[in-house]
Amino acid sequence: MGRVSLFMSECERAFAHGLPVERSHVTQRIPRLRRTPSWALWCLAPTILLLLAFSYWPLLRTALLSVQKSDLFGRAAGFVGLQNYSQMLSSEGFWRSLWVTAIFVVLTVIGKVVVGLLVALPLSKRLRGTAFSRASVLIPMAISAAVAGLAFRALMTPTTGLLDQLAIALTGNPAGWLTQPTMAMISIVIVDVWVSIGFVILLLLAAIDGIPVDVTEAASIDGANGWRTLRSITLPLITPTLFFIVVTQSVQAIREFAVINVMTGGGPSGATKTLVFDIWAKAFGGTADYAGASARGIVLLIIIAAMTAIQFGVLERKVNY
């Protein structure tokens, strides 16, 4: 993913310093050794074979399933061309799931960036007495989305959960955290932000720490106040990281399943049924509509591949001031 671009720059740097990257000196000096030794092939074999079996073959099979009919038991029952796709495109549920996915992605990404900055910016000052905060904000990194969902489900227990108590205290009514359509969306957004926040803060801290001290010093000598430094120095200099976060977290949000499955089950009445949740529901949530699930799987693949391509394209050009 985005890591590739770093690898590219790594190589460029190595070449600039005249270091051999792909081939060692030995290879270049002793032509006899040019031939690929058999041990290297043995070393690669497990990886290549496993990727063929569990990445490439299933990808091909998904494509094949998406152009076949499936019977009640999910068995492929003859080619039907693009019928599954035309059915999908004319189904209201499909467009709704794309819309739900889009809202979920936008809200979680905004949430992660805003909360991430609100915590990472003051943390980056490395004041004495903040070591505990530094360590504890990373804890969510350890927690699975499923378990986080369960913890929040406890907090959102109707009428007795703390968050619902809070809602009752503020508005006089239970919030319907998981039962009211808009609140259900907000709830899964909150949990998804919580699950990723440790990772986001870690990335932001690394980026802010990477800003050369003399730049910020020069700014403060020039009389820039905190807000001005943030707006004109810090934020522009961490744009590449912000961009990286936006793309990787969008991909992560598009692929989110556990939070939705644990908290809302796609409900109420489809309000939190994203594309990925729909893929699962089609294939394993009562029906065995493998054809429909596969067609949606191909759509998902296209979306994820496009996002990765955007990531490469823009990161290569370095989003910076």
Token pair listed for 228: 């001005």
Backbone angles phi, psi at 265, to 5 degrees: 60, 30
Q: What is the total count of residues that contact another protein (CB under 8 A)?
A: 117
260 lies in the site for another protein, by CB under 8 A:
no
For the CB of residue 54, give the shortest distance to another protein in the complex, in Å: 4
Contact 237, 320 (CB under 8 A): yes
Give whichever of 113 and 280 is closer to another protein, judged by the CB atom: 280
Distance between CA atoms of residues 216 and 39, nearest Å: 52
* Contact pattern for another protein over residues 188 through 227, marking x by CB under 8 A: ------x--x-x--xx--xx--x-----------------
**Which one of 78-86, 89-97, 104-112, 278-286 is the stretch in contact with another protein (CB under 8 A)?**
278-286
173 lies in the site for another protein, by CB under 8 A:
no
CA neighbours closer than 13 Å in the CB half-sphere of residue 290: 17
For the residues of 57-109, what is the DSSP string, one character each?
HHHHHHHHHTTEEE-TTS-EEEE-TTHHHHHHHH-HHHHHHHHHHHHHHHHHH
For the CB of residue 175, give the shortest distance to another protein in the complex, in Å: 14
77 lies in the site for another protein, by CB under 8 A:
no
For the CB of residue 92, give the shortest distance to another protein in the complex, in Å: 22
* Contact pattern for another protein over residues 7 through 46, marking x by CB under 8 A: x-xxx--x----xxxxxxxxx-----xxxxx-xxxxxx-x
Contact 152, 194 (CB under 8 A): yes
Distance between CA atoms of residues 163 and 142, nearest Å: 23
Tell me which amino acid residue 4 is. V
Residues 109-168 that bind another protein (CB under 8 A): 118-119, 122-123, 125, 127, 129-130, 132-133, 135-148, 150-155, 157, 159-162, 165
Give whichever of 110 and 147 is closer to another protein, judged by the CB atom: 147
170 lies in the site for another protein, by CB under 8 A:
no
Backbone angles phi, psi at 225, to 5 degrees: -85, 180
